[in-house]
Amino acid sequence: MAGALTVHRAGATVWCTLDRPPLNLLEPGLIRTLRETFEALAADRTTRIAIVTGQGRAFTAGMDVAVLRDLDPARARELITGLHDAIAAVHAAPFPVIAALNGPCLGAGFELALACDLRVAAAGTLLGLPEVRVGIPSVIQAALLPLLVGPGRAAALLLTGEPVTAEQARDWGLVNEVVPAERVRTAAEALAARVLACGPDAIRLQKGLIVRWRETDVVSAVRLGIDAFAAAYATAEPREGMSAYLEKRPPSWGRRL
């Protein structure tokens, strides 16, 4: 759908706003646009961080049930594969992604939020996976839940379809910060600023490790970390960052020594 995703650049930060009010329900056009947007951003090194949020009163209440209702197995596979590819593009982005949860975050919307690296939520926001209540399982990023919150909590979310509040999600480690609704954007910007204060190349290396650590065993993960540490010294950032620390000044990441 034309205009279903609004993209706005503010320096090195890109805001991606789901713009299908009132609930920003996901459908094939918006899913495709989300994937294409993040694939394009991944190829643009001027993008250092992205923030995903929703227009109006919801982040996204998930998939449009009118789209889901009349699928057959072949079209269901096609739709969920497209959703997987879009969420994977967000998850694998070479820069950090913040989910600014301005309202309900349900179903595929919750999975999109889980694909992000950091999450800021409005107080009282509901997060959940209600798919079983309409006859389908939760898939894709839902596979991460047992590792993120433990098997019992994951099973409760997946088997009852009942949501949790942002406050409970914060206590479980799913949300980094809970703020009043009117401060969600400001809180996301402040969190982004803290990331942007760090070395750009180091952040890209760290983000790549975070993604790969989820996909490999511990021994391999440690070896990947050793490679990334050595790779950092192929850039000027360690020398500049440590010189700035010793000289008690802010680092200048464009500086070459």
* Partners of residue 8 on adjacent β-strands: 15
DSSP state of 57: T
Instruction: State how far the Cα of 21 lies from the Cα of 48, in Å rounded to an integer.
Output: 28
Which candidate, 147, 150, 203, 171, places its Cα nearest to that of 13?
203
∠ at Cα 75 (70, 79), nearest 5°? 100
- Active-site residue flag, 162: no
Among residues 27, 39, 78, 131, the one annotated as catalytic is 131
**Computed over its alpha carbons, how large is the radius of gyration of the chain?**
19
167 is catalytic: no
Helices 237-246 and 200-213 cross at an angle (nearest 10°) of 120
98: exposed, middle or buried (C-beta count within 10 Å: 0-12, 13-18, 19+)? Answer: buried
Catalytic residue among 36, 39, 111, 247: 111
Distance CA 196, CA 34 (A): 23
Q: How far apart are CA 240 and CA 222, in angstroms?
A: 26
> Which residues are identified as catalytic?
111, 131
